[in-house]
């Protein structure tokens, strides 16, 4: 308990000299500001992104649960539109990726989701740079060592080895599952699975089995 308490003091900069302490405070405040801006950018993109489907294209919604269609219709009415407005917030995106028969619709929403808030790129770069500087000020070789210093076991290498070992153990099963997904997709004429196909065909297999 005493060692853990002392470590926490160290991680909060108690052992730093005056100059280092000043820089430590600047870095931690800047990291908080960057995290806030990152979240704001992400939320703005999620809230502002919309995909409008007019009434004449209703067939593009084939396979979707009724609650998803009803929510999309309500969003459209709120915008004085006839049809459906899809978004990339989690409930809508998950339903589209899992149930939408229209492959292009799945692809469009997936690509919108993975490319949202691209103005966060410089923010991420600055966060990485500041984290590295923070770790070195506190006496660690890199941020990974700093972040795991109060974990059990306190080792970035141990965590990495665990993940690599886990990947090796699950790879055979994952390979078999991917083969089943590919087999299911080929029945629809899809030779190469894309990221926006995974959840859809996983659900299709579950429907066939159960």
- pLDDT tens-place string over residues 130-144: 999 999 999 999 999
pLDDT in tens, 100-115: 999 999 999 999 999 9
* Residues 38, 164: Cα–Cα separation, whole Å: 29
pLDDT at 154 over 80: no
Smallest CA-to-CA distance from 199 within 186, 184, 210, 189 is with 184
Q: What is the pTM of this model?
A: 0.85
Mean pLDDT of 175-190: 94
* Residues 165, 173: Cα–Cα separation, whole Å: 14
Q: Which runs of consecutive H residues, i.e. helices, occur in the chain?
A: 2-11, 18-48, 66-78, 90-99, 103-114, 121-137, 143-148, 156-186, 195-209
| Residue bearing the bigger pLDDT, 203 or 4 | 203
Residue 13 has which token pair?
């900069």
Per-residue pLDDT band for 155 (boundaries 50, 70, 90) equals confident
Please provide the DSSP assignment of 75-120 as one string: HHHHTT-SEEEE--SHHHHHHHHHH---HHHHHHHHHHHHTTTGGG
Find residue 84's DSSP bridge partners. Answer: 53
């Amino acid at each position: 308990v005493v060692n853990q308490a002392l470590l926490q003091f160290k991680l909060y900069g108690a052992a730093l000299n005056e100059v280092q302490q000043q820089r430590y405070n600047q870095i931690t405040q800047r990291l908080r500001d960057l995290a806030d801006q990152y979240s704001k950018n992400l939320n703005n993109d999620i809230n502002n992104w919309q995909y409008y489907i007019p009434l004449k294209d209703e067939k593009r919604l084939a396979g979707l649960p009724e609650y998803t269609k009803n929510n999309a219709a309500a969003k459209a009415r709120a915008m004085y539109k006839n049809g459906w407005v899809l978004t990339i917030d989690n409930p809508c995106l998950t339903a589209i990726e899992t149930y939408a028969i229209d492959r292009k619709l799945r692809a469009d929403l997936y690509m919108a989701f993975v490319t949202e808030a691209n103005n966060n790129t410089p923010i991420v770069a600055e966060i990485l740079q500041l984290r590295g500087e923070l770790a070195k000020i506190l006496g660690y070789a890199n941020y990974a060592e700093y972040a795991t210093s109060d974990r059990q076991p306190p080792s970035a290498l141990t965590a990495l080895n665990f993940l690599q070992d886990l990947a090796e153990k699950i790879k055979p099963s994952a390979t078999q599952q991917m083969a089943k997904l590919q087999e299911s997709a080929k029945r629809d004429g899809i030779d190469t699975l894309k990221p926006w196909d995974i959840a859809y065909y996983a659900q299709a297999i579950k429907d066939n089995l159960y």
